[in-house]
A = this chain, B = another copy of it.
């Protein structure tokens, strides 16, 4: 396994792989890898000749007052995990490589970036789309692997890839979860013992909603469901604030106010909850 630190080094290499007809699989990450990332790497391993993981904590997607500085980092640990998982290259640039002085080009995906995370974290998806497009251009992957956990990010990146005719295929992998259902996240290490015990209620709330809207329950009122989910989460002492609980069309991300006429559509139920200064997100997709 090799570590690539510059854009030109990485791009030359991937151009060569493209000419040689090697299939490139790409897993973009912000590092501090967990089982979720490893499942993406595994999926890449199966579909590609060459697996490239990028590790870059992207300042552009953090708002002022967000956790950019204290976002967990441990490159040595990540290196070992990647090597053990059979990664071929880590692309590990510094901020100046990605955003040299005078950098001024940004990608924006309108509408789909606005609700949910976008409403709480303005500018977040502009930052995500811009860095991922840059990484696509550098790594030139045939397949790119993303986790379902960041549902809106997925919708945004799928839309960007389609709209800009980016020559890569986005592969979605299921959210990796702890035994008790908590979605894996690099931010979980910041949870206190009490918060960690309460955090699985996010998934419990999602599963509750899923049970309730399964066939036979078509007419369930979304406001009622949200109220019940909210109650369940608030019953946990360390869940300090619910940023949102939302039902959306999984393709357009249009918010749903009713479950009527949603047959044959994928419904995304997503939520964001703060445990003190730690903010967790989770979601579930239901095919009706």
Q: CB of A104 within 8 A of chain B? A: yes
- Measured CA separation A47–B154 after assembly (Å): 39
Bits for A1-41, please: 1 = Cβ < 8 Å to B, else 0.
00000010001000100110100000000000000000000
- Report if A204 contacts B (CB, 8 A): no
How many interface residues does chain A have, given as a range? 20 to 34
Question: How close is A165's CB to chain B, nearest CB, in angstroms?
Answer: 4
Tell me how far the C-beta of A50 lies from the nearest C-beta in chain B, rounded to whole angstroms: 15
A171 at the interface (CB under 8 A from B): no
Choose one: B18, B107, B110; the contact of A107 (CB below 8 Å): B107
CB of A163 within 8 Å of the partner chain: yes
Question: Which residues in B have their C-beta under 8 angstroms from that of A106?
Answer: 107-108, 110
Contact in complex: B163, A103 (CB < 8 Å): yes
Of B107, B137, B252, the residue contacting A105 (CB under 8 A) is B107
CB closest residue in chain B, given A18: B18
Contact partners of A140 in chain B: CB under 8 A = 167
Closest to A110 in B: B104
A85-118 toward B: CB 8 Å interface, digit per residue (1/0)? 0000000000000000011111111111000000
Contact B15 A167 (CB under 8 A): yes
Which of A15, A21, A108 counts the most chain B CB atoms within 10 A?
A108
- How far apart are the CA atoms of A11 and B108 in the complex, in Å? 23
Q: Give the distance in Å from the alpha carbon of A159 to the alpha carbon of B105 in the complex.
A: 8
